[in-house]
């Protein structure tokens, strides 16, 4: 499935490993949260990057203790209308200080890309058959934001403009 | 009252003042270039979404929430466009534009809603881009008037004018408006989310029937803070909002809301649309557990990122500067003389006026509930004239109330008689604010695909039955609220008399409740018996009114009589005859 990073299609260096199949030791691999819970000891000596995939109902606190073991957390959107993932990413960043990659997977729309970025996601696994052009355009469609968000280039929230407005002095 | 509080100050026009606006205007938030750019970009984004839908790139299922977040519904007979009126305040320029859109794209009228918004019920899909473009010309839009996001924030229709006001709720409603626009985390909530805010001890915004209800207040040190109620709501499972925190300091206003929303977004139910509102989460967790979750989230939200700096609040407050009110004597001889000479004007003055904080001024409620009329409807002709009157008498500002009426907030008592005569000439001088004819009703089966029964004809029949203004006044405060289905858009649960339309084997029937209350003493009404026909419902209300009049003590309201004598006498008299 096509990977989107910084508003552009990107090469995916990660491999998603279905439960039950062997996890390659020499390339970055993403395993399910359930597998991690069941087999965590088997990854004790692993030297290559490991990622974990959270189902929509698995919220940030569930993985909080183990975050230092993962270079990537994939947050699944079971349905694009199910917005829990936005809070999961934000909690990972703001509450647990996670600095690795957070990837949106599952049913997400280009129309949500700006929100994903602003809640702390770094990459998106776009659904198969998606129009890549819509993803590329998505970040520039709306340039004005009103509230604080996450992400290194998140603009200054609009609500702060009052700090500089003449009205304050007047 | 200090002399400086009402200086003759034209207000701070802000960077984006309309050219055609009267110089002297009430404190209305004016868009600046960034606000305008946002709306323009969203209109453009929506038009691309429509194109992608037509090209098959978006499925209907994917497109629907995007369409709803732009205020566009598909109803029974046509598309409906719900236009946002932030906290119910409009300039006359905006009001005239709504009138023009009604004339050009609808059937020459508009409909005000219980969320202080305006709906056009006969819109063609192909006209919507043009309508959104015209709205943008006057800094309006239809964003977040639907969908599972934070909806338009509502407040007291007398805000900034009322004699009993403690805190100006517009300032905080505007902060919330900005804070919740296209919020990246809270645009795909389990379900819609409605916030109301009040800045006085009288609850004119039905605080405890909202997902979040906020009361702005001051402490002894004169600081502003907020009491938060959570989990109120009507619909098929009505709940009264519960107190979650007595005092949230001003600087934490947004942070506390952020914490509530984050708990809701993570833990609110998504498996069943009818159990997805925050009221169900609060009910199922229990208020103590819910509160603990919110407090924990609130405690760890990063500061100062979520802190509302005093400079920000002041910057926004400056946009709501007092209009150029004159210093006037408290009483007006002219007003008193007109009342003495004209009994109709005197009645209207008693019923439709509220106390203004400035001496010599009054707040005028304009009823959109004429006898036999459709609650909340107004024609484009009436709108144009009303806009002229608002320019002449009330600083070019018009408010929408959650009871589907309009308000001219700052009228000199000396001008009241002239204003009344001109309102009367266009059929807008009905003297029934808060009385039995001031009925709240949803659009019902005449428009809505969800409805089981029509609401409007019943509202018309009741207001026609009680058309006599003297009788209405004699009955006193009595709120009837009608919903055409269990979703309760007409707030029937909290009507002193509530009416719910039901479908009984293909026939429209009406279930009657009594004892509901939408103010801070919020109560859900009791069902008094089996559903009846439209005609029988009107008779039943008449009967209940007679029982009330026979039993009330001096100055006792309908609601208080019900509370004192119980529901028994009302039930018996209605169902005894069967």
In this structure, the answer to whether residues B99 and B178 fall within a common structural domain is no
The reply to whether B191 falls in a domain is yes
Q: What percent of chain B has pLDDT over 90?
A: 83
Check if A86 contacts B (Cβ < 8 Å): yes
Q: What pLDDT does residue B281 have?
A: 98
Total domains present in chain B: 3
The reply to whether B230 falls in a domain is yes
Q: What pLDDT does residue A163 have?
A: 56
B8 falls in which pLDDT band (50, 70, 90)? Answer: very low
Domain end (from B287, B320, B353): B320
Residue B12 has pLDDT above 60, yes or no: no
Cα B33 from Cα A38, distance rounded (Å): 55
Which stretches within B275-393 are classed as H helix? 278-285, 287-300, 310-317, 333-341, 343-352, 380-393
Buried b (16+ CB within 10 A) or exposed e, B244-264: bbeebebbbbbbbbbbbbbbb
HSE, CB side, 13 Å, CA atoms: give it for residue B108.
2
Chain B nearest C-alpha distance from A62 (Å): 13
- Domains of chain A with bracketed CATH: 3-143 (3.20.20.70)
For the segment B99-124, the average pLDDT, to the nearest whole number, is 93
In order of B24, B328, B332, B339, the CA distances from B360 in angstroms are 18, 5, 7, 15
The reply to whether B335 falls in a domain is no
Name, in order, each residue with C-beta under 8 angstroms of B430's C-beta and a sequence gap of 6 or more.
B367, B369, B370, B371, B437, B469
B537 falls in which pLDDT band (50, 70, 90)? Answer: very high
Q: What pLDDT does residue B574 have?
A: 87
Q: What pLDDT does residue B76 have?
A: 81
In this structure, the answer to whether residues B272 and B205 fall within a common structural domain is yes
Q: What pLDDT does residue B322 have?
A: 81
Check if A109 contacts B (Cβ < 8 Å): yes
The reply to whether B380 falls in a domain is no
In this structure, the answer to whether residues B157 and B295 fall within a common structural domain is yes
Q: What pLDDT does residue B501 have?
A: 96
On chain B, the residues whose CB falls within 8 A of the CB of A81 are 65, 148, 188
Q: What pLDDT does residue B493 have?
A: 96
Domain end (from B279, B303, B320): B320
On chain A, the residues whose CB falls within 8 A of the CB of B15 are 165
B20 falls in which pLDDT band (50, 70, 90)? Answer: very low
Cα B334 from Cα B340, distance rounded (Å): 10
Q: What is the CATH number of the domain that holds B234?
A: 3.30.413.10
Tokens of B173: 């409603």
Chain B nearest C-alpha distance from A50 (Å): 26
Beta carbon pairs, A and B, within 8 Å: 126
Q: What is the CATH number of the domain that holds B88?
A: 3.90.480.20
On chain A, the residues whose CB falls within 8 A of the CB of B314 are 162, 168
Check if B340 contacts A (Cβ < 8 Å): no
Structure confidence by residue, pLDDT tens digits, B354-374: 999 999 999 999 999 999 999
The ipTM value here is 0.94
The reply to whether B397 falls in a domain is no
On chain A, the residues whose CB falls within 8 A of the CB of B301 are 94
The sign of the torsion formed by the CA atoms of A167, A170, B2, B6 equals: negative
Cβ atoms of B25 and B12 within 8 Å: the answer is no
Structure confidence by residue, pLDDT tens digits, B368-422: 999 999 999 999 999 999 999 999 999 999 999 999 999 999 999 999 999 999 9
On chain B, the residues whose CB falls within 8 A of the CB of A168 are 311, 314-315, 318
Q: What pLDDT does residue B128 have?
A: 87
| Mean pLDDT (chain A, rounded) | 91
B26 falls in which pLDDT band (50, 70, 90)? Answer: low
For the segment A40-53, the average pLDDT, to the nearest whole number, is 95
Name, in order, each residue with C-beta under 8 angstroms of A69's C-beta and a sequence gap of 6 or more.
A43, A50
B577 falls in which pLDDT band (50, 70, 90)? Answer: low
In this structure, the answer to whether residues B67 and B126 fall within a common structural domain is yes
**What does the angle CA B253 – CA B247 – CA B155 come to, to the nearest 5 degrees?**
55
Cβ atoms of B190 and B269 within 8 Å: the answer is yes
A108, closest residue in chain B (CA to CA): B62
The reply to whether B404 falls in a domain is no
Structure confidence by residue, pLDDT tens digits, B317-342: 888 888 889 999 999 999 999 999 99
A165 falls in which pLDDT band (50, 70, 90)? Answer: very low
In this structure, the answer to whether residues B133 and B163 fall within a common structural domain is no
Q: Do A167 and B319 touch (CB under 8 A)?
A: yes
In this structure, the answer to whether residues B456 and B496 fall within a common structural domain is yes
A166 falls in which pLDDT band (50, 70, 90)? Answer: very low
Cα A141 from Cα A143, distance rounded (Å): 6
Cβ atoms of B353 and B360 within 8 Å: the answer is no
Tokens 């039950």 map to which residue? A20
A150 falls in which pLDDT band (50, 70, 90)? Answer: confident
Cα A123 from Cα A74, distance rounded (Å): 9
Q: What pLDDT does residue B19 have?
A: 33
Least reliable range by pLDDT among A109-118, A155-164, B163-172, B521-530:
A155-164
Q: What pLDDT does residue B4 have?
A: 33
Phi and psi angles of residue B148, each rounded to the nearest 5 degrees, phi first: -90, 60
In this structure, the answer to whether residues B188 and B274 fall within a common structural domain is yes
Check if B306 contacts A (Cβ < 8 Å): yes
Q: What pLDDT does residue A154 have?
A: 66
What B537-540 contacts at long range (C-beta under 8 Å, 24+ apart), as own/partner pairs, is B537/B458, B537/B462, B537/B499, B537/B510, B537/B512, B538/B458, B538/B461, B538/B462, B538/B465, B540/B512, B540/B574
In this structure, the answer to whether residues B129 and B204 fall within a common structural domain is no
A96, closest residue in chain B (CA to CA): B300
Cβ atoms of B189 and B149 within 8 Å: the answer is yes
In order of B152, B245, B495, the CA distances from B213 in angstroms are 13, 11, 18
Q: What pLDDT does residue B6 have?
A: 33
- Residue A12 forms beta bridges with which residues? none
- Residue B33 forms beta bridges with which residues? none
In this structure, the answer to whether residues B122 and B253 fall within a common structural domain is no
On chain A, the residues whose CB falls within 8 A of the CB of B143 are none
Structure confidence by residue, pLDDT tens digits, A128-147: 989 999 999 999 999 999 99
Please report the residues numbered 121 through 140 in chain A whose beta carbons come closer than 8 angstroms to any beta carbon of chain B: 131, 134, 137
| Mean pLDDT (chain B, rounded) | 92
Q: Do B184 and A111 touch (CB under 8 A)?
A: no
Q: What pLDDT does residue A112 have?
A: 97
In this structure, the answer to whether residues B176 and B312 fall within a common structural domain is yes
Cα B135 from Cα B137, distance rounded (Å): 5
The reply to whether B87 falls in a domain is yes
On chain A, the residues whose CB falls within 8 A of the CB of B31 are none
Domain end (from B320, B346, B377): B320
Residue A169 has pLDDT above 50, yes or no: no
In this structure, the answer to whether residues B82 and B161 fall within a common structural domain is no
In this structure, the answer to whether residues B158 and B131 fall within a common structural domain is no
Q: What pLDDT does residue B303 have?
A: 83
Q: Do A90 and B188 touch (CB under 8 A)?
A: no
Higher-scoring residue by pLDDT: A159, B444 = B444
For the segment B178-204, the average pLDDT, to the nearest whole number, is 96
Domain, as residue range, for B92? 33-137
The reply to whether B184 falls in a domain is yes
Indicate the residue of A119, A131, A168 with minimum beta-carbon distance to B184.
A119
Cα B358 from Cα B360, distance rounded (Å): 6
């Amino acid at each position: 499935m096509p990977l989107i990073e910084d508003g552009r299609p990107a090469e995916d260096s990660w491999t998603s490993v279905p439960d039950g199949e062997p996890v390659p030791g020499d390339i970055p691999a993403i395993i399910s949260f359930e597998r991690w819970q069941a087999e965590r000891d088997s990854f004790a000596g692993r030297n290559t990057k490991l990622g974990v995939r959270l189902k929509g109902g698995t919220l940030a606190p569930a993985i909080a203790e183990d975050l230092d073991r993962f270079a990537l957390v994939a947050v699944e959107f079971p349905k694009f209308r199910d917005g829990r993932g936005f809070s999961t990413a934000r909690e990972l960043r703001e509450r647990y200080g996670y600095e690795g990659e957070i990837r949106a997977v599952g049913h997400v729309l280009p129309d949500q890309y700006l929100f994903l970025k602003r809640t702390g996601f770094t990459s998106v696994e776009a659904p198969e058959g998606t129009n890549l052009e819509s993803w590329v355009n998505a970040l520039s469609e709306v340039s004005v934001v009103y509230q604080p968000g996450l992400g290194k280039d998140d603009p200054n929230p609009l609500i702060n403009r009052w700090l500089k407005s003449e009205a304050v002095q007047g | 009252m200090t002399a400086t509080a009402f200086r003759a100050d034209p207000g701070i026009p802000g960077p984006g003042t309309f050219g055609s606006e009267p110089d002297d205007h009430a404190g209305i938030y004016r868009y600046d270039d960034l606000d305008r750019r946002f709306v323009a970009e969203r209109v453009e984004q929506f038009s691309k979404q429509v194109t992608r839908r037509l090209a098959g790139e978006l499925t209907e299922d994917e497109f629907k929430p995007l369409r709803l977040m732009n205020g566009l519904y598909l109803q029974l007979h046509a598309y409906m466009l719900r236009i946002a009126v932030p906290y119910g305040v409009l300039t006359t320029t905006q009001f005239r534009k709504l009138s023009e859109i009604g004339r050009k794209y609808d059937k020459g009228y508009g409909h005000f809603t219980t969320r202080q918004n305006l709906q056009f019920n006969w819109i063609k899909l192909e006209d919507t881009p043009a309508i959104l473009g015209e709205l943008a010309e006057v800094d309006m839009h239809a964003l977040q008037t639907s969908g599972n996001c934070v909806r338009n924030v509502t407040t007291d229709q007398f805000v900034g004018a009322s004699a009993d006001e403690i805190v100006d709720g517009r300032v905080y409603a505007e902060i919330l408006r900005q804070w919740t626009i296209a919020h990246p985390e809270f645009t795909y909530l389990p379900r819609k989310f409605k916030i109301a805010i009040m800045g006085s001890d009288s609850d004119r915004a039905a605080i405890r029937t909202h997902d979040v209800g906020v009361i702005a207040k001051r402490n002894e040190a004169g600081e502003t803070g907020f009491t938060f109620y959570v989990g109120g709501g009507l619909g098929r499972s009505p709940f009264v909002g519960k107190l979650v925190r007595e005092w949230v300091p001003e600087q934490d206003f947004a942070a506390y809301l952020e914490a509530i929303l984050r708990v809701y977004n993570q833990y609110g139910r998504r498996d069943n649309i009818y159990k997805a509102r925050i009221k169900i989460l609060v009910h199922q967790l229990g208020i103590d557990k819910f509160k603990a979750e919110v407090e924990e989230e609130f405690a760890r939200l990063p500061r100062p990122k979520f802190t509302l700096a005093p400079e920000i609040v002041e910057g926004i407050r400056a946009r709501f500067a007092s209009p150029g009110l004159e210093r006037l004597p408290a009483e007006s001889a002219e007003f008193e003389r007109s009342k003495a000479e004209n009994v109709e004007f005197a009645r209207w003055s008693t019923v439709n006026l509220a106390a203004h904080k400035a001496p010599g001024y009054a707040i005028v409620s304009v009823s959109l509930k004429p006898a036999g009329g459709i609650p909340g409807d107004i024609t484009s002709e009436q709108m144009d004239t009303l806009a002229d009157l608002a320019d002449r008498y009330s600083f070019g500002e018009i408010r929408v109330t959650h009871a589907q009426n309009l308000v001219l907030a700052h009228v000199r008592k000396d001008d009241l008689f002239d204003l009344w005569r001109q309102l009367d000439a266009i059929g807008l001088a009905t003297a029934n604010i808060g009385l039995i004819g001031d009925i709240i009703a949803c659009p019902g089966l005449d428009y809505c695909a969800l409805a089981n029964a029509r609401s409007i004809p019943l509202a018309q029949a009741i207001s026609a039955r009680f058309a006599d203004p003297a009788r209405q006044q004699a009955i006193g405060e009595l709120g009837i609220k009608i919903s055409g289905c269990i979703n309760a858009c007409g707030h029937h649960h909290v009507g002193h008399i509530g009416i719910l339309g039901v479908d009984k084997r293909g026939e429209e029937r009406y279930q009657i409740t009594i004892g509901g209350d939408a103010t801070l003493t919020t109560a859900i009404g009791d069902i008094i018996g089996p559903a009846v026909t439209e005609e029988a419902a009107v008779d039943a209300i008449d009967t209940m009114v007679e029982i009330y009049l026979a039993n009330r003590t001096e100055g006792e309201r309908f609601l208080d009589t019900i509370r004192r004598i119980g529901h028994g006498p009302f039930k018996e008299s209605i169902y005894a005859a069967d």
